[in-house]
Structure 1
Amino acid sequence: MSELDVRILDKKCRFQGFFTIEEYQVSHKLFNGGMSKVLNREIFERGDAVAVIPYDPVRNSLIVVEQFRVGAIRTQTNPWLIEFIAGMFSDNESPVDVAVREAKEEANIVLEPDKMRHIMTYLSSPGGTSEQLHLYAAPVDARNVGGVFGLEEEGEDIKVHEIGLNDALALINDGTINNAMTIIGIQWLALNYSQLQSHWADNDKTKS
């Protein structure tokens, strides 16, 4: 992208709280030539996030968390959503740092950074927010995983579940799992779980 493709004529902060709303006046190149009219667009700035798929390659199961989400009140009869472990960046953190921290805080599981695999980075909803989500997979031993965790000072009340991959797909199909991050991660895992199993098994043989 260059200044010839997109022209930002003005940018103002319209709200500054836990999140930020910026108002842009912008013009962009048209497919048929020339430039668009000046567009006013408000963008929700929340920073980038990291999500992790904790996958047990032996049990072919994954760890998910269940928690209350205020954004689901308007459209859902049940605002307690099943999701992957996820969190926002703090200062000077890498995506792997975020995943390791959030896994401990939300599910009391310890991830090994050198075994984590980057799956993809995608834009959550680019029509309204600049947020990117970095998705990772990490091997875990899902035996004896469970309980209720989260940081009390952040109002977190997070229940941990182990579910089989086939059961997770069924929960997508019946609408129980209905948030994009988790749907994308489970569908990716369904297509690639055998590759992950082989990758981690080969790594373990190399180290032994």
Structure 2
Amino acid sequence: MSDLPEGLRPIVLGDDPAQEEARLAFYKAAAAPVADDAAGRILARDVMGLMGQHPPEAIRKRLVQLRMSAGSRARAAASPPPKGLVHHAEPGDVQEVRRIQPYAHYFAVEEYDIRYRRFDGTMSEVVNRGVFISGDAVTVLPYDPVRDRVLVVEQWRAGPWGRGDPQPWLLEPVAGRIDPGEPPEVTGRREAVEEAGLEIGDLHLASAFYPSPGAKAEFVYAYVGIADLGDDAAGVFGLDGEAEDIRGHLLPFERLMEMVTSGEVRSAPLLITAYWLARERGRLRGE
């Protein structure tokens, strides 16, 4: 709207201009904290798509989560497609017939009726799929190349509990969701302070991946972060406002790999990052 010629101003048209003005004001308030224009446009689409499915107050309460999801979708759209063996998607290869959001609270579930391009070139019949929406996440495994040790964190996790696992405490890297307008590297450094009280030096991207693409939209950026891990580096941390109770453990690198082999490490990001560190450890230590 700022690009209008001098002397002109935008107006809102429709059967009920006052209602449309109210909707526009609602969108502007929602989009204001989103730094990226692409994420703002996606947020607008998502918010307006929920109108009629959920009460406005319920949508308002989920604005932080909706901003996270919009940022995730903007990053996905801007990412260069992988080249190689996988099918190269073209416009029209996936046709969305219907989208609803039957559940929304801290996380959300979206349900789609879609057609997609089959490997024989034809379009599939309409299929129904559900996806767990949680925004993107960052993990950081702090590593001290001088002492050749890592810091892992332990906390209670709802996922194993929901599965019926009698051991719902897991060992993991530092982890957290990407806040609206925040680059993944900034998230990693912030979470290292919040969950482990650590200032991270260089960050090395070990991998970026979908942990469970059949059911989750989450995309994880997994880093190894260089840190000074003295004997007093481990402690109990976490934000009271997020009900976090997180205990740190200092481990020699070889002990970490023993735990990977024994099965004590059951978090996919920690497994992936540990294997990356096993490959790159000599380089990081200057050997």
What TM-score do the two structures reach when normalised by structure 1? 0.90
Instruction: Confirm whether residue 89 of structure 1 aligns to residue 89 of structure 2.
Output: no
Aligned equivalents of 2:220, 2:158: Cα separation in 1: 20
Paired position in structure 2 for 1:70: 158
Aligned equivalents of 2:166, 2:132: Cα separation in 1: 26
Which residue identity lines up with residue 92 of structure 1 in the other structure? G
Aligned equivalents of 1:76, 1:177: Cα separation in 2: 14
Match of 1:138 among 218, 221, 225: 225
Paired position in structure 1 for 2:237: 149
Superposition deviation, residue 120 in structure 1: 1.9
Match of 1:179 among 267, 279, 286: 267
Aligned equivalents of 1:174, 1:117: Cα separation in 2: 26
How many residues are matched?
197
Aligned equivalents of 2:216, 2:244: Cα separation in 1: 24
Match of 1:168 among 249, 256, 259: 256
Instruction: Confirm whether residue 99 of structure 1 aligns to residue 188 of structure 2.
Output: yes
Which residue identity lines up with residue 209 of structure 2 in the other structure? Y
Q: Which runs of 4+ in 1 moved over 3 A?
A: none
Quick check: 2:207–2:273 contact (8 Å CA) kept in 1?
no
Q: Deviations over 1:144-199 (max 9, x none)?
A: 2111110111111100111111111111222211111111111111111112223x
Aligned equivalents of 1:141, 1:120: Cα separation in 2: 23
Q: Deviations over 1:38-87 (max 9, x none)?
A: 11000000000000121110111111100011211234332111000010
Paired position in structure 1 for 2:214: 127
> Where is the strand percentage greater, Structure 1 or Structure 2?
1
Gaps of 5+ in 1: 202-208
Q: 1:76 to 1:173 in 2, by over 3 A?
A: farther
Identity %: 35
Aligned equivalents of 2:148, 2:274: Cα separation in 1: 12
Aligned equivalents of 1:20, 1:27: Cα separation in 2: 22
Which residue identity lines up with residue 176 of structure 2 in the other structure? G
Aligned equivalents of 2:195, 2:284: Cα separation in 1: 23
Structure showing greater Rg:
2
Superposition deviation, residue 23 in structure 1: 0.6
Aligned equivalents of 1:71, 1:44: Cα separation in 2: 13
Q: Secondary structure at the match of 2:285?
A: helix
Which residue identity lines up with residue 28 of structure 1 in the other structure? Y
Aligned equivalents of 1:146, 1:192: Cα separation in 2: 24
Which residue identity lines up with residue 181 of structure 2 in the other structure? N
Instruction: Confirm whether residue 25 of structure 1 aligns to residue 113 of structure 2.
Output: yes
Q: Comparing 98-107 with 31-40, which one deviates more in the overlay? A: 31-40
